[in-house]
């Protein structure tokens, strides 16, 4: 199952050695995976700071065929959408926990730019929060956080799996992606519930023993 073409792996360079990002991205390319996940944090929406549009731009210029999946964990994502679009983002993911005003404004920016769009939901947030936006039909994927966002290497929160089942039943055509504590075992649990895409961090960049299942 884990080698099935139906499974989409999205390595997150947040888990890579920050002093060796070029080799981390090269590892993704050499693995045959066609995309990379960029976790963008502002120190306010989550208690951590990562990197900005410049890193995205550098990756895009060096590896133009690599799809950039950008996850904005920001209080004001609308202020950063244009810079990340200019940097080469292929998809931008917002958080459902933000105010309706900010989400609506941000979604319009993304629609106007014809950019693929995702919505992320934290472990403690009710899945019902997503429904008003999903009914509009402009979201192409949902990112279900299976850890509390902000830091790589956390333990998978299995209690989010019913959310995956609910979303799969209600919106069968939307890609469901899980992010946090993902390895071959937890991905199998998510796949059984309906997830088809998995953001991988420490298990991809740091645990050499499970490299092969991502090929």
Q: Flag whether pLDDT at 30 surpasses 80.
A: yes
99: number of Cβ within 10 Å: 9
Kindly list the catalytic residues: 39, 179
CA gap 30, 16 in Å, rounded: 15
What is the overall mean pLDDT for the chain?
92
Return the CATH number of 8-214, one of 1.10.10.10, 2.30.30.100, 3.30.160.110, 3.20.20.70: 3.20.20.70
What is the DSSP track for 179-204?
ESS--HHHHHHHHHHT--EEEESHHH
Higher pLDDT, 70 or 184: 70
For 56-102, the pLDDT digits (tens) are 999 999 999 999 999 999 999 999 999 999 999 999 999 999 999 99
Percent of the chain with pLDDT over 70: 93
Q: Flag whether pLDDT at 186 surpasses 60.
A: yes
CA gap 60, 84 in Å, rounded: 11
- Domain boundaries along the sequence of the chain: 8-214
33: number of Cβ within 10 Å: 19
């Amino acid at each position: 199952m884990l080698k099935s073409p139906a499974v989409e792996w999205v390595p997150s360079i947040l888990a890579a050695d920050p002093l060796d990002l070029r080799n981390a991205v090269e590892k993704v390319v050499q693995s045959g995976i066609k995309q990379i996940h960029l976790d963008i944090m502002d120190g306010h929406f989550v208690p951590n700071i990562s990197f900005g549009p410049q890193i995205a731009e550098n990756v895009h210029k060096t590896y133009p065929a690599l799809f950039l999946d950008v996850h904005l964990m920001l209080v004001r994502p609308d202020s950063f959408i244009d810079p990340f679009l200019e940097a080469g983002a292929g998809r931008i993911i917002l958080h459902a926990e933000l105010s309706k005003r900010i989400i609506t404004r941000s979604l319009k920016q993304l629609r106007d730019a014809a950019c693929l769009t995702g919505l992320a939901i934290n472990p403690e947030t009710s899945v019902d929060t997503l429904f008003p936006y999903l009914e509009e039909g402009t979201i192409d994927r949902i990112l279900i956080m299976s850890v509390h966002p902000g830091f790589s290497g956390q333990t998978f929160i299995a209690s989010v799996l019913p959310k995956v089942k609910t979303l799969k039943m209600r919106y069968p055509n939307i890609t469901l992606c899980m992010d946090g504590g993902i390895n071959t075992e937890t991905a199998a649990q998510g796949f059984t519930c309906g997830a088809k895409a998995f953001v991988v961090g420490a298990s991809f960049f740091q645990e050499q023993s499970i490299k092969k299942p991502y090929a």
